[in-house]
C-alpha cells in the first residue's frame, strides 16, 4: 500500500516535470530541440510501460548501472506518463486563445513572463482534467511493479490470497485501489476549481467545498442530463 502510494506520487511529480519540459520543448521554433522532444515523446508513448520497466531493471545493469527497484519504478512510470502528459501540456498551451499572446506582445512582456504569468496559468486549468485521467492511469500502472520485485499492493494481495481466499483478497485490493483513485480524482477536481478561480472564473475552492453550494451542484446535474 505504502509503496503503491510512493510510486504514484513520485511518478506523478517526475511526470509533471518531464511533461512541462517536453511539452514546452515540442513547440519551440528550433527544429533540433523540437525534433528531439518529439522523438522522446513518441518513443515513450510508443513502447509499452512493461518493456520500459524491464529495460531499466534488467538491461541497465549490463551497462554497470544498477538502480534500486524503487528508482526503476518511479523512473519508468514518470517517463512513460510524462510523455503522455507532455502532449496534454502542448495541446493546452496551444488552446490558449491567440489574443492572449497578442496582448503580451502589446504589453511587451518578456518570454518568461508571458509563459509564467499569462499563458501557463490558463493552460494549467485546461490541462487538469486530462492530467487527472493520467494520474489514475499511473495509479493503475503501479500494479505492474511487482514484476520487478517491488512488494506493492498487488504483491501483498497475492500473499493475502494464499492465506485467505481469492474473493476476499482481491475484493479488498480492488476496493483499496478504487478508493485511492477516487480520492485522487476529488483532489484534482479541487485543484481545477482553484486554478479556475485564480483566473477569475468560478468561485473559490472554499465555497465550492461548502455544503450549501447550489451553483455547482446544479451545474453538475445539468451537465449530466443534457
Residues whose CB falls within 8 Å of the CB of residue 1, separated by 6 or more in sequence, listed in order: 152, 153, 156, 176
- Shortest distance, CB of residue 165 to another protein, whole angstroms? 9
Give the x-and-dash track for 91-130 against another protein (CB under 8 A): ----------------------------------------
170 is a site residue for another protein (CB under 8 A): yes
> Residues 176-195 vs another protein: string with x where CB under 8 A?
-xx--xx-------------
Angle between helices 166-198 and 120-141 (to 10 degrees): 180
Q: 195, 177, 199: which is closest to 129 by C-alpha? A: 195
Please check whether residue 36 is in contact with residue 78, taking contact to mean a CB–CB distance below 8 angstroms.
Answer: no
Q: Give CA angle at 179 (178, 181), nearest 5°.
A: 65
In the complex with another protein, which residue's Cβ is closer, 211 or 226? Answer: 226
Should residue 59 be labelled a site residue for another protein when binding is judged by CB under 8 A? yes
58 binds another protein (CB under 8 A): yes
Show the binding pattern over residues 62-91: x = contacts another protein (CB under 8 A), - = does not: xx----------------------------
217 touches another protein by CB under 8 A: no
Rule CB under 8 A: say whether 144 interacts with another protein: yes
Q: How far is CA 129 from CA 48, 118, 157, 202, in A?
A: 24, 20, 30, 16
Residue 104 vs 173, nearer CB to another protein? 173
The cell numbers describing 129, all together, are 482534467
Cβ at position 185, least distance to another protein in Å? 8
Does 51 bind another protein (CB under 8 A)? Our answer is yes
Calculate the alpha carbon distances from 77 to 6, 13, 145, 179, 220 in Å.
12, 10, 10, 21, 33
Residues near 200 by beta carbon (within 8 Å), at least 6 away in sequence: none
Question: Contact with another protein (CB under 8 A): which of 9, 21, 24, 49?
Answer: 49
Q: Which residues bind another protein (CB under 8 A)?
A: 42-43, 46-52, 54-55, 58-59, 62-63, 136, 139-144, 146-147, 154, 157-158, 161, 166-167, 170, 173-174, 177-178, 181-182, 226
Amino acid at each position: 500500500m505504502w509503496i503503491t502510494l510512493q510510486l504514484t506520487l513520485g511518478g506523478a511529480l517526475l511526470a509533471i516535470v518531464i511533461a512541462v519540459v517536453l511539452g514546452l520543448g515540442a513547440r519551440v521554433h528550433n527544429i533540433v530541440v523540437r525534433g528531439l522532444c518529439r522523438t522522446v515523446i513518441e518513443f515513450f508513448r510508443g513502447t509499452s510501460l512493461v518493456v520500459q520497466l524491464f529495460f531499466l531493471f534488467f538491461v541497465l545493469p549490463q551497462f554497470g548501472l544498477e538502480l534500486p527497484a524503487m528508482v526503476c519504478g518511479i523512473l519508468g512510470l514518470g517517463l512513460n506518463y510524462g510523455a503522455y502528459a507532455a502532449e496534454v501540456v502542448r495541446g493546452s498551451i496551444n488552446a490558449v486563445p491567440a489574443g492572449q499572446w497578442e496582448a503580451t506582445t502589446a504589453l511587451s512582456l518578456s518570454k518568461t513572463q508571458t509563459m509564467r504569468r499569462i499563458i501557463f496559468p490558463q493552460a494549467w486549468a485546461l490541462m487538469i482534467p486530462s492530467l487527472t485521467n493520467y494520474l489514475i492511469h499511473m495509479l493503475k500502472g503501479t500494479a505492474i511493479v511487482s514484476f520487478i520485485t517491488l512488494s506493492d499492493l498487488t504483491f501483498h494481495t497475492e500473499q493475502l490470497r494464499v492465506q485467505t481466499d481469492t474473493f476476499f483478497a482481491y475484493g479488498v485490493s480492488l476496493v483499496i485501489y478504487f478508493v485511492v483513485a477516487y480520492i485522487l480524482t476529488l483532489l484534482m477536481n479541487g485543484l481545477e476549481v482553484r486554478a479556475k478561480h485564480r483566473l477569475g472564473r468560478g468561485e473559490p475552492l472554499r465555497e465550492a467545498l461548502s455544503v450549501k453550494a447550489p451553483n455547482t451542484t446544479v451545474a453538475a446535474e445539468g451537465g449530466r442530463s443534457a
